[in-house]
Amino acid sequence: MNENQPNTLPPEYFDHVYQANRDPWNFETSPYEREKYAATLAALPRPHYAEVFEIGCSLGVLTAQLAPRCGHLLAVDVSDAALAQARARCAELPQVEIRRMEVPNEFPSQNFDLILLSEVGYYWSPADLARAADKLIAGLQPGGHLLLVHWTPLVHDYPLTGDDVHAFFLAKATEAGPLRHLTSQHHEKYRLDLLEKR
């Protein structure tokens, strides 16, 4: 783990990024993102999930693609600028609820049968990753799925790498642990792991 910057990146970091560029990671246009979204949706074993929690929805590009498979989809982010775009994109999707929420300091009260943590975990400090993991596992229904998708190359601004995040969760997928590891995919620049709550 990268100890040079142990603090979680604050909401202001993302506000500045979105003020400089309305789509800073090219979510809307990048072939990489398009392929990754397709792989993310294809990795879900069930055609439909009643209660879904998407952490770090950004502009809502993946949110809109995930919505048809959800009874209710709570999509959250820390950036107001990103959330404004997500709300506009998902305005015609009544099952989508978009909220500003800073996980793990804030967490919804309901339980979910799918939680999607995509391109978010490496923004947390090791301590906040541990806190978030406890809340995510507690917030999953038994048999519920946790889907992790993260960029794996090192980014110097980020407290952790995608591999750090996945290794942390996979360490909980032991015989005695709260999670079971279902599938893993390693792509050139990202990885995907699907876990299930015991």
Given a cut of 60, whether residue 3 has pLDDT beyond it is no
Q: Please state, for a pLDDT cut of 90, what percent of the chain lies above it.
A: 90
Q: Quick check: 97 pLDDT over 60?
A: yes
How far apart CA 77 and CA 98 sit, in angstroms, is: 8
DSSP H or E run through 65: helix 61-66
Amino acid making up residue 183: T
Which pLDDT band, with edges at 50, 70 and 90, does 16 fall under? confident
Angle (nearest 5°) at CA 111 between 49 and 142: 75
Superfamily of domain 26-193: Vaccinia Virus protein VP39 (3.40.50.150)
Give the residue extent of every domain in the chain.
Answer: 26-193
- Residue 2, pLDDT above cutoff 70: no
The confidence score (pLDDT) of residue 149 equals: 98
Kindly state the percentage of the chain with pLDDT values over 70.
97
Instruction: Return mean pLDDT, the chain.
Output: 95
DSSP character at residue 56 = -
